[in-house]
């Protein structure tokens, strides 16, 4: 399959456009991949346009009362949810600037500026590009370790003496694992992530770094370790993107290099180009056995398949009501962790002087907090109370539809939040609404209603939830 930087698709979220190519292609032209073949189908399912279109169709279906799983609350419920988000946003960010929803917020947990700590460790003798490469290495492994930690796990930071749980704890723990050199194979260069370091990672060492014990269990520890080892293997197999050492930082050069190594401040890329590169180069790391040729165009199972990692879909699941062309029929894509990673990479690129455009091509992240906000606000209403007490798997249609509804409904809530806060879409892009925002409001309601637990019970392997 061709690389994302070579695919002639618009850069507005319907696909990817090669860096520097905005003047060569009219973004109003729709380039339709050949979905009769796995390569074209995978390309389509890796776009946020496909996510939004299919999520919107499931929302419209639920509003027609055709869903067996959910009803949708009325306009008052949407307005109430928007007001809740706006109130939480004002409490969290009483000043004007609301940052992006990003892993970097977790690195700031407890009021500690860990980016400054990393800069001090990196020293003054490196340029903005080298600094960005270290940031990208850190963020990629940290986000891949960011699936739900479980209700009892915690991490105590020795330097500050503070105790952190959930996403903040995972962020702080992964930061210190990175600075200790856990993910580097080169003792002389500990502040990096490389393929050899990840391929040699063992579960016990990762568990020690995260202070895991019998009395401090971390959900999905083995799954997280396997994911990082697979990342190491994927990077070593793609030196054209990740370099001979296999570093996540190779993404920076892959996206910015067309503009010239000496002038990153003049570079301009889109958020979807970052996402497309992630989805194409890292498709093989996801353990979910979801590959484009495992579903036929008529929606029936197509046993066998090529097994080609280029067609692996990762966070993309079957739903009986989803319609689409060719081999994409029946698939509902999300790419939550990859989009969370993209949101978290915006700042490293911008700090290096690269302008990242079209942020709102990315979608809301369909996970516990954003989706929980909508259930707890009465916007998404399960048809049976028993649905809230049974245990689900990520691929169950109930969960797939809940996540799709979350994506579509947060697109409706975002402008309502802006209206309450008197902000424009340019002043408050979706990345900032999420941070202000929907994720935090979901956590607030969960804390109020269930001592922080999410409204749904989902089995986790540490890679999706």
Supply the DSSP string of 320-357, one letter for each residue.
Answer: TT---SGGGTTEEE--HHHHHHHHHHHHHHHHTT-EEE
What is the rounded CA–CA span in Å between residue 141 and residue 345? 12
pLDDT at residue 155 in the model: 98
What is the rounded CA–CA span in Å between residue 463 and residue 290? 14
* Helices 397-421 & 48-63 angle (0-180, nearest 10): 100
What is the rounded CA–CA span in Å between residue 41 and residue 34? 7
- Beta strand 70-72 pairing with 268-270: unpaired
pLDDT at residue 52 in the model: 98
> H helices then E strands: how many in the chain?
18, 10
What is the rounded CA–CA span in Å between residue 348 and residue 105? 13
* Cα angle: 348, vertex 438, 442; to 5 degrees: 120
- Per-10-residue mean pLDDT of the chain, 465 residues long, equals 38 42 38 85 95 98 98 97 97 90 96 97 92 97 87 94 95 98 97 98 97 94 92 96 96 79 69 96 81 53 53 92 96 94 96 94 95 98 96 96 98 98 95 96 95 89 64
Do 268 and 258 form a contact (C-beta atoms < 8 A)? no
Task: Name the pTM for this structure.
Answer: 0.89
Do 409 and 415 form a contact (C-beta atoms < 8 A)? no
β partners of residue 209: none
């Amino acid at each position: 399959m061709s690389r994302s930087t070579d695919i002639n698709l618009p850069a507005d979220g319907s696909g990817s456009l090669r860096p520097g190519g905005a003047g060569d292609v009219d973004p109003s032209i729709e380039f339709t991949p050949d979905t009769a073949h796995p390569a074209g189908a995978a390309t389509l399912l890796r776009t946020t346009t496909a996510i939004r279109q299919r999520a919107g169709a499931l929302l419209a279906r639920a509003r027609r009362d055709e869903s067996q799983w959910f009803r949708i609350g009325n306009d008052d419920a949407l307005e109430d949810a928007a007001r809740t988000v706006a109130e939480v946003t004002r409490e969290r960010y009483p000043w004007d600037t609301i940052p992006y929803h990003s892993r970097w917020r977790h690195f700031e947990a407890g009021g500690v500026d860990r980016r400054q700590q990393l800069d001090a460790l990196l020293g003054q003798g490196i340029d903005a590009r080298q600094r960005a490469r270290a940031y990208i290495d850190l963020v990629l492994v940290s986000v891949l370790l960011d699936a739900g930690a479980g209700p009892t796990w915690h991490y105590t930071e020795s330097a500050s003496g503070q105790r952190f749980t959930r996403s903040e704890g995972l962020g702080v723990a992964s930061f210190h694992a990175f600075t200790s050199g856990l993910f580097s194979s080169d003792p002389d260069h500990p502040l990096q992530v490389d393929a050899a370091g990840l391929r040699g990672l063992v579960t016990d060492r990762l568990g020690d770094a995260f202070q895991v014990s019998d009395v401090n269990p971390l959900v999905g520890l083995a799954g997280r370790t396997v994911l990082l080892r697979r990342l190491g293997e994927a990077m070593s197999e793609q030196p054209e993107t990740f370099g001979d050492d296999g570093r996540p930082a190779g993404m920076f050069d892959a996206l910015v290099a067309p503009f010239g190594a000496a002038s990153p401040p003049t570079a301009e890329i889109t958020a979807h180009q970052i996402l497309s590169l992630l989805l194409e180069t890292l498709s093989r790391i996801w353990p979910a056995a979801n590959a484009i040729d495992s579903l036929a165009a008529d929606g029936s199972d197509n046993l066998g398949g090529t097994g080609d990692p280029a067609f692996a879909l990762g966070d993309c699941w079957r739903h009986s009501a989803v319609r689409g062309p060719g081999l994409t029929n029946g698939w509902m894509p999300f790419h939550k962790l990859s989009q969370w990673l993209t949101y978290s990479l915006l700042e490293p690129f911008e700090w290096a002087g690269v302008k990242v455009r079209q942020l709102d091509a990315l979608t809301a992240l369909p996970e516990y907090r954003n989706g929980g906000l909508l259930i707890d606000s009465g916007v998404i209403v399960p048809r049976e109370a028993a649905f809230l007490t049974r245990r689900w798997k990520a691929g169950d249609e109930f969960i797939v539809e809940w996540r799709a509804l979350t994506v579509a409904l947060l697109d409706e809530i975002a402008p309502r939040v802006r209206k309450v806060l008197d902000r424009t879409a340019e002043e408050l892009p979706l990345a900032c609404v999420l941070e202000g925002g929907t994720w935090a409001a979901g956590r607030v309601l969960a804390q109020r209603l269930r001592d922080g637990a999410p409204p749904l019970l989902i089995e986790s392997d540490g890679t999706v939830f």
